Each structure stands twice: as C-alpha cells, then as structure tokens.
A and B are shown apart, each in its own frame.
Chain A
Amino acid sequence: MSLQDDPYAALVGMLRQMGHDMRVPLNTILSTADMLEQGMYDPLTPRQKKAVDRLQRNSQRLLAMLDDFITTIKANAGDLTLKQEPFDPRALVEAAAEKVRPFAADKGLILHASTGAGVPARLLGDEKALTRALLALLWNAAAYTAAGEVALRADWTANAEWTVALRDTGRGITEEERPHLFEPFWRGEERPQIPTACAGLGLPLARALCEAMGGRLMLETTSAEGSTFRLYLPLSRAEDA
C-alpha cells in the first residue's frame, strides 16, 4: 500500500515494520547489558552495576512499549492471531493481580481480586491476550491511584459473558479528560510514575484486545471517589465446546 493510495494504511504498515525492526538493536542492548551485569566481560563496581541495572530496566521498558504498540496496531487492524483454548478464569484473575500487587503495595495501595461463584471453572479463549488486557487495566489503575485500593472483580452475566470490573479509589476522571481516555499515549496532566511493565498504552491496548476478542471495554462510573472500568467478553464454557 503506497502513501499516495492510502496514507493511513501505509503509515500503519511502516509503524509495524519499524516496531519489528527495533527488536534487533534491542536484542543487542539487552543481551550485552545482561552479560555486563553477569560480570562476563569484567567484574563491575557497585556504581557500574547500578548503571547497568538502569540500562536493563529501561530497555525492558522500551520493549514493553514496543510490544504494546505493535499489539494495539494489530488488534485494531483485526490482524491478531487469537487462540481458543481452555483456561481457568479464577487463576487468570489471581495471577494478573499477583503481578501488580508488589507495585501497588509499594505505593501503599491494597489490591483485591475476586471471582463470583457463577463464573464457570473453565472457559475458552486466548489466555495470553486476556491476561494482557487485565494487566493493562491493573497497571493503569495502580499507577493513577494515589491512595486507597484497586479491586478486580470477575463475574458471569445472564447473557453468558465474562465480565470484569476494575474499581479504583483514584481522583476520578474529569469531563474534559473522558474523550481522551482511550487515545494512545494520552496520560492526562498528572503523568504518574509509570512502572517498568506499564508502557503508557494501558487503556487503548486493553480496549483493542477486548474488541479483537469480540468484547467491549468501557468506563462505567467515575466520581471524585474513584472510577470503575468494565469489560465484557463473550466467552464459551470449555465444557460446551
């Protein structure tokens, strides 16, 4: 697709290519930093070790950003290969929460995760994509909530949908901010300290993944006491398949 025929498609194609090509220099940086850190060239002084840690942390952050970026573009283009495999939805929710809990705890936040009794024991879906969507929401909520708690709650609806609500006790989202919430790289005025694993594409990535899986993600409620995001996914019970 040429820039003249379809500038948008051409640009998306170029961004995808660039995203893939960036993996090569990142491979060199990460591998070299790892060898330095292991003392494989020469033993490091404590200051050098700290500098290499910084290199590693930021290379990982760049890689996470790149992965989120490529996945968002692919998901929006309907070009994501998704699996249909049995998974345990309770374990998935708990595992996602467990990954973000240390970051939340460092900020003094309590992170709850629970699943309603009505949720089937096994569902069919792409466990990796589902985990990624939940993690994007969780990192986002933990990063933007200054105090209090973040609660993840999964349920099963009367329409046979897996629904997950993510409630936080942040300051809420203003009228002016709402139209920008799902825009890539929009972070609002506050620009909180983003954890390494959080690339700044949380909400757009989560929404793109949900929609690629036939679901939807929305801001359900928001006030000065906090916000709740909710996703719905039409997943089949594993035993029905």
Chain B
Amino acid sequence: MARILIVEDDLDLIETYTDLLTMHGHEVRSAIRLGEALKALEEVPPQIIMLDLQLPGARAATLAEFAQTAKRVSGAAIIIVSGHPEMMSSAGLLDAVDLVLVKPVHNPDLLSFVDRMITMQPAPAVHQG
C-alpha cells in the first residue's frame, strides 16, 4: 500500500485514478492546484506524487520548483503523467522526476509502476502508454 498524491486538474481523471488506486489498496489524496498540493504533502507526506504538466496557472518553472520542494519535503517519488510529454524538456523537471507516463496510461501499467516505485527508486525513464 502506498500514500499517493494526485496533482491533476481534470476532475473525472482524478476520480478514475482514485477509484483504481484505492481499489488496489492505496491511500489517495488529490489536489487540482500546486498550492493545494503543497499543503497536502505537508499534512500527510505522500510516497508517490502523480503530477500533471498542465495545471491552471502553473508555468514550467513553477512546476520544476514544486517538484524540487515536494521531493525535499516528502521524499516522494514523482511521476509525471501527461498528454504532452515533449513539454518535459522545457519544463526543466527531469532532475526531480522519477518517471514520465504518457496519457492515456493503461491501468495495469500504472499499478505496476506504482508498485515498483514503492519498492525501489528507478532511474528517470519515459514510458509511452
């Protein structure tokens, strides 16, 4: 079981990931803005953060700063989940990110990566869904 924080602005997708992950025994919280996410990770430090690249009002530099802070505060593994993986290069996030998943992410893949993340710290990689 892992504590997972989903940072995503699409409410339907949050609900979907939450259903999937909770039904597999994980504890899930969510935030639709980075400010909310920072508060959430201080309250209950997650082991994994699933971070969307396109959040309202969040520029590339803000995302990179959030990822670095989140890593420092919680030590969580960070998974970028995005429909725009090419934005990674401009976001300058690579140093703080453990894995990049391209939407749509297949359920078995997501569950398997989450399991792997809580047992090891893999090198940064990009997985095309």
**B3: CB under 8 A from chain A?**
no
Asked if A28 meets B10 with Cβ closer than 8 Å, knowing A21-B83, A63-B104, the reply is: yes
Q: Residue among A31, A32, A40 with the most chain B CB within 10 A?
A: A31
Number of interface residues of A (CB under 8 A): 17
**A116: CB under 8 A from chain B?**
no
**Smallest beta-carbon distance A80→chain B, Å:** 11
A32 to B104, CA, bound (A): 12
A34 with B83: CB separation less than 8 A: no
**B12: CB under 8 A from chain A?**
yes
Asked if A31 meets B83 with Cβ closer than 8 Å, knowing A23-B104, A24-B10, A63-B104, the reply is: no
**Smallest beta-carbon distance A41→chain B, Å:** 8
- Interface bracket on B: 10 to 19
Asked if A31 meets B84 with Cβ closer than 8 Å, knowing A26-B103, A26-B104, the reply is: no
Interface 9-mer from B15-23, B32-40, B68-76: B15-23
A20 to B82, CA, bound (A): 9
Which of chain A's residues have a CB closer than 8 A to the CB of B20? 31, 35, 40
A77 to B103, CA, bound (A): 23
**B107: CB under 8 A from chain A?**
yes
**B13: CB under 8 A from chain A?**
yes
B19 with A35: CB separation less than 8 A: yes
A21 to B84, CA, bound (A): 8
**A30: CB under 8 A from chain B?**
yes
B contacts, CB < 8 Å to A: 10, 12-13, 16-17, 19-20, 23, 83-84, 102-107
